Chains A and B, each alone.
Chain A
């Protein structure tokens, strides 16, 4: 599992064109539901099943929701499959998981926020529902990468 702040490893390049079966789409605040439906259909078609599929879709939903809420209201999503692994990359225009105004630590998804906290559970869920979760934070935005093996135990 990648450490926060760096991508876990170089990702295989996504399909350069749509004919290779990758998915690339932009989303904004009105498109959380629609983007999730696209991702669910694509991932099911790529072979993800049952709870792994549902978990992956939820993880992507949480990252998209974070991007809309904290990452400038919009972003871009790419999905592709390589060597039995589904990759999802979400870019937004925000600073990424940030220290809240109260000076709370920057959430990374490794710890479950306390009961009193209103947010931060999306990353926790994403980390548990996917095989890897990693961030790349830059001044102009944040890229989050998720991976999940199509079949458990192949990675």
Chain B
């Protein structure tokens, strides 16, 4: 049975065959079903960065990369069910990566909580996979290999005709990873590049009982979206030296911008920050530093007059090849 074999398959270990989408399989919940599901989903008990009811506890659109903290198994299951339902409703392919709960337990829960789950699973539209087997396929965490595997999965999903891939990953395995939260935070920050294509959305679930406060800060700050914190959105491609950013960037998500800038291809670079409503000092500095560390390349930033002023202030007199184009009314 394909779904069972899929459970054994590490990401990217073999060529992924994603069943082509069947347009007739797209469906929306009728209200009776929706009400029933809502009643079966556990009540939120989270506060701060957690909480099922937080509007940004799951992706709002493709390209969103969300961190979410849970405090109980019921929290985790309820959130996973909501994510799966929303992803399927929007016609996406959904992949659930388990960690703290057995794959079979999560699958059973989704079977009960998500209408049409079995049909979707049979059609290959949703898979529940063992997370550690995916992330630690070689016995240890190799961030570059995992990122490459996700890139392959995203391409295969697009090739099969889906609008996008929705990935829900319980990241609790990473609490025991060598290098700890710092390694995972760096991986998460660099993985944002995958989301810039707008073909994937994801939520990374962290167990608030397993990570200390400073570690949670670090991993959450590697995500552009954390409930209750600044929301950053971005778009770009691997080939073009262009990055568009919108929303807000502050201490709660600044490493995301730094990692995106760091991974821009060589050559002249253009950053469209016209729709960036807020950037803190560290973020402005990361843009200036990009220009300072790429001698010979010109970095052009289109932004609001307010951000232009801040960029000029942090650049100081020793301005590198930074072209600041203020756009009024952004």
Contact = CB atoms under 8 A, between A and B. Distances in A.
Interface of A: 29-30, 32-34, 36, 50-51, 54-55, 57-58, 61-62, 65, 68-69, 112, 115, 119, 121-122, 124-125, 128-129
B251 A69 contact: yes
B313 A124 contact: yes
Nearest to A68: B251
12 contacts: A30-B49, A33-B248, A51-B306, A51-B309, A54-B306, A57-B278, A65-B281, A65-B282, A112-B314, A115-B289, A124-B314, A125-B313
B305 A51 contact: yes
Contacts of A125: 281, 284, 310, 313-314
Interface of B: 48-49, 213, 217, 228-230, 248, 250-252, 278, 280-282, 284-285, 289, 292, 305-306, 309-310, 313-314, 316, 318
B48 A30 contact: yes
A121 to B, nearest CB: 5
Contacts, number: 72
A126 B284 CA distance: 14
B280 A62 contact: yes
B280 A58 contact: yes
A121 B251 contact: no
Q: Which of B248, B250, B305 has the most CB of A within 10 A?
A: B250
Contact of A128 (B213, B282, B284, B313): B313
B314 A32 contact: no
Nearest to A117: B285
A58 B278 CA distance: 8
B228 A34 contact: yes
A36 B278 contact: yes
B250 A33 contact: yes
Given A36-B250, A55-B309, A112-B314, A121 B282 contact: yes
A68 B306 CA distance: 25
